[in-house]
Structure 1
Amino acid sequence: MKIATILGTRPEIIKMAPIIDEISKRNINQIVLHTGQHYDKEMSDNFFSDLEIQNPDYNIHVGSGTHGKQTGLMMKGIEEVLMDEKPDIVLVQGDTNAVLAGALVASKLHIAIGHVEAGLRSFDMTMPEEVNRRACDVTSTMYFIPTEESAINLLAEGFSHKNLIITGNTVVDACFRHLEIAKKRGFEEESIKKLNIENMENILTLTMHRAENVDDKQRITNIIEALKELNDVDIIFPIHPRTKNTLQKFGLFDELNNLEHVHIIKPLGYLDFLLLTSKSTLILTDSGGLQEEAITLNVPALTLRYNTERPETVTAGGNILVGSDKERIIKYTHKILNDKEFSDKMKNAINPYGQGESAKLTVDAIEDYYKKGLLDIKAPENIMISFKREMMCVNENIDVKTFEKEKNALIHMVFDGEKMRFPREDLNLNGKIISMDIFER
């Protein structure tokens, strides 16, 4: 078996590191392809050595550009590699342009696709990430899903539960693995060393990069107005190059930089940033991945968005959506700083993304599919069998696997009277309402 992993951005590299490591431990043939989507030298060069994983076998150096240009160049480079290497499965992670390009190319070449972190939905189609993740899910063969809630998103869209594998999120594996490396070496970036954060009583780590915030002058102004009033906490802001340029264009950068309690530093390497996160009192962010890392590291998070494809963090109680609302940002920051009971409740929120076994479960599933011949993508040989769709209430003690076998059916949704349930094979259906396809025998 040969596995190809396509990476494009820092979060992809971070989250795929445990899987790449697990594949290597099992001596499975693998290739790693880096699209070079992150073109800023400060944010890209040391990822692989920092995480102690193999350097990419291929780097197609796409760099910056419009979505169309960048995705097109990626597709061209990826296609050349996949046609030459002929892997059995292509792994992509998340929702970037590299994910979209890799999924489209592999599907056209009839190569199986494994989508790591599948099923996330913000339901905001103005976000390019939402378009990318949805398009990838349409083309995928295997879906490695962080939570049952994300799995139910896919069930609602008509995907078969037989291809949905709930693994937890590799961000947990990555945090546990990489924080130990970070603690051993300490901070390396001079700008964070100079801050002497060990003597800071409370640290708010801030990240902003999403277009809906930084490109909207009213939103970014509201956020900065909130930051001005949060002078009872040290705000550390490793600034994204694009965010800095936009703030300068709006004439807001100097205003923010001149605040005594705000410490603007250049982007940190992953390990330095992970160590900073672990030492923070709270996180203020519009990043998706950081919402996951915060709850994994027991750090309360306030998210500068009005929706999130990580709703489990909100439901669990470790994350609050504040948007660009100045009053909400100030209110919840002060509540975390001054209300110990409230803060402890957020810190102790149960992590919905598992306990750090995602990489193992992912590679276990791939090996199982390979042994069963389920990675072979072939045109159907049989005439389509007709089917009908039904809903019913089940009134017998029977599990999903047995029910589907006896009825020649595929269960899509299960409702237990309170919430939707994922149709695991051993789930007892007695008293539950199901929707299903029944196939003609």
Structure 2
Amino acid sequence: MKLCIIVGTRPQIIKSQPIIKEILARKLKLNIIHTGQHYDYQMSKVFFEEMKIKDPDLNIEVDPGTPTSQLAQIISKLENPLKKIKPDVVIVPGDTRSALGAALCANRLGIRVAHVEAGARSMEYDMEEEINRRIIDHCSNLLFAPTLNCYKNLKKESVLGHAYFTGDTMYDVFLEFKKILNLKKSGNDKYVLMTLHRQDNIKNPQRIKKIIDLAKQISAKGWDIVFPVHPHTQKQIKSFGISLGGINTTNPVKYSEMLRLLCNANLLLTDSGGLQKEAFWLNTPCITLRKSSEWIETLDGTHNTLLSTIKKSSLKQITNILKQKQQKIKSINQFGDGTASKKITSILLH
């Protein structure tokens, strides 16, 4: 069997790592294609190195541009490589523009599509990733759901492909690195970890200013703010003339460093889907700067709180969370048992 996995962003590389390792361990043929959607050292190559997976066999090097022009490039530039490789299955992880372009191209070429992280739903129809994953799910032959809720979503929508509840490959990676890093909470730190990258947060000058101002208010209450800044976020903050004074900014960090920061943080302030889960697994309180979450398993009333509109009361809400004792997680088996990649590879072989 010949397989091809297509990635383009940092989260896709992370969630693909255990699948790539498992496929290669079984001596199967695998081609890795990078779209170039995020392709610089800090946002891409460093993760291939850290995850100890081979470099991509091909980078189609799409140009930066509008979402529509970049999607069109991904679809058109993948066509000839896929015709040449002739894979039996194209594996598409996640919900990015690269994932959508890869799924549509493979589908139109008559190649079977396998979607990793299928069935996640936030019900935010103005969010690019929500539309991406819905389209991918409805043109995939094999759908690998990370949670039972995701699996139920696929069944409700009567997807045409075969759906499986396999568990979350991100949980596979998390368990591996938790052991390698020997992650344990020190209890001595006093900081809030913040990340921002969603378009509806960073493209709106009023919205992003409110978020930055809230972070500064938290800092004034005695908690340091640690803010690894995504390149697109940095660009927007600069263009709006917003000051980051009083906030500890860093360049994007490696996966292992992010886990260390997250483990010892008193709180995570984020709009990331993946970090919501990792905070949940590490028992770190999370404030999600969105109106909904695709990971409803984390919304158990104690671990993840949605904050869609920043109000005067938001600071008090956050400081109350910071002062509370951390609650133990009831169960994280909702995301599988750490063998999702093995299950996925076995299904691919049959």
TM-score normalised to the size of structure 2? 0.93
Structure 2: where are the runs of 5+ without partners?
none
Contact in 1 for aligned 2:74/2:98 (Cα 8 Å): yes
Which residue among 339, 345, 348 is the counterpart of 1:363? 345
Would you say 1:303 and 2:285 are equivalent positions?
no
1:177 match? 176
CA distance in 2, matches of 1:175, 1:198: 19
Contact in 1 for aligned 2:113/2:139 (Cα 8 Å): yes
Note the C-alpha offset of 1:328. 5.6
2:96 match? 96
- Paired amino acid for 2:7: L
SS of aligned partner of 2:193: strand
Contact in 1 for aligned 2:95/2:132 (Cα 8 Å): yes
CA distance in 1, matches of 2:21, 2:199: 33
Contact in 2 for aligned 1:38/1:64 (Cα 8 Å): no
2:199 match? 211
SS of aligned partner of 1:90: strand
2:336 match? 354
CA distance in 1, matches of 2:46, 2:208: 30
1:335 match? 320
CA distance in 2, matches of 1:60, 1:25: 26
2:105 match? 105
1:164 match? 163
2:299 match? 314
2:83 match? 83
2:145 match? 145
CA distance in 2, matches of 1:61, 1:181: 33
Q: 1:164 to 1:16 in 2, by over 3 A?
A: same
1:14 match? 14
CA distance in 2, matches of 1:327, 1:289: 28
2:212 match? 224
Note the C-alpha offset of 1:121. 1.2
Contact in 1 for aligned 2:189/2:264 (Cα 8 Å): no
Q: 1:137 to 1:182 in 2, by over 3 A?
A: same
Note the C-alpha offset of 1:323. 2.0
Superposed CA RMSD: 2.1
Identity of aligned residues (%): 38
Answer with 224-233 or 324-333: which moved more: 324-333
Note the C-alpha offset of 1:249. 2.1
1:66-112 Cα distance to aligned partner (Å, 9 max, x none): 11221122112211111011111110011111111111111111111
Note the C-alpha offset of 1:330. 2.2
Contact in 2 for aligned 1:91/1:116 (Cα 8 Å): yes
CA distance in 2, matches of 1:174, 1:118: 18
Contact in 2 for aligned 1:237/1:265 (Cα 8 Å): yes
Whichever of the two has the greater Rg, that structure is: 1
- Paired amino acid for 2:166: T
2:229 match? 239
- Paired amino acid for 1:145: A
- Paired amino acid for 1:367: L
- Paired amino acid for 2:239: K
CA distance in 2, matches of 1:205, 1:140: 36
Note the C-alpha offset of 1:7. 0.6
- Paired amino acid for 1:176: L
- Paired amino acid for 2:88: D
